[in-house]
Amino acid sequence: MLTSETTRVALVTGAARGIGAAVVTQLADQGWRVVAVDVCEDLPGVDYPLGTKQQLLELADRWPDSVVPVVADVRDATALRAAVAEAEHRFGGLDAAVAAAAVIAGGRPLWETTDTEWDVLLDIGVRGVANLAAAAVPALLRRPQPRTGRFVALASAAGHRGLWHLAAYNAAKHAVVGLVRGLATDLRGTGVTATAVSPGSTRTAMLDASAALYDLTDVEEFARHQLTERLLDPAEVAAAVCWLCHPDSSAITGTVVHADGGFTA
């Protein structure tokens, strides 16, 4: 638990449910102040329901003094700058930014992938991460020396392995890994780090949507690809993310933590 003298501030996108919500939960439980961001609406090109404003508000209601809900689209750079400004205004600064917003689309060969699917995967999954970095990193650098700012992006096991009929999603997640490596290099010597976490098959609404793309009747079939021989819980992945947000993770930058249950082993 953080003391009042060491209270840290985070901004988390994709916060209404899934891994993003689990990150908000764990950070708030550890005494962080959190700006929780989610688009809270369904989007063209995404063939399953996304998180809702009600889910975001219910999450924030658990910590009314610590978690501020913000409805914003990661494709909107201005909206993310406003969310960062809210963190600085409300809590005095920003110490960590977590890019957890993502969607899945596909289920067909690369040559049949539609422009709409490409657009939503790249605009949310890659440009959304870049937008958050562009908004948050200046705030992380505004903290006084010695800085301990952290930028953490959710990649995927798909950023390291080819997945059948998900080439565009593969491309987006490989891009997240490359973005983090480049960002970490830009941040050399500043005390601010940039890392990625690559989950395996995790029990979320997005995994249910993935099963639907493959016409699977049981999402548990994904578990056979992992050494754990079970699906991961969002809290397990969030634990890795939250540790990377902590000052103690200072030796880790420009690389990926594989919280994938052994998927890429």
9-13 vs 256-257, strand pairing mode: unpaired
Q: Which of 169, 177, 199, 234 is catalytic?
A: 169
Rounded CA separation 181/29 (Å): 30
Q: Kindly state the tokens that stand for 37.
A: 């961001």
Report angle CA 221, 226, 231 to the nearest 5 degrees.
60
96-99 vs 150-154, strand pairing mode: parallel
Rounded CA separation 9/98 (Å): 11
Rounded CA separation 125/75 (Å): 9
Residue 48 annotated as catalytic: no
Rounded CA separation 27/66 (Å): 10
Active site residues: 169
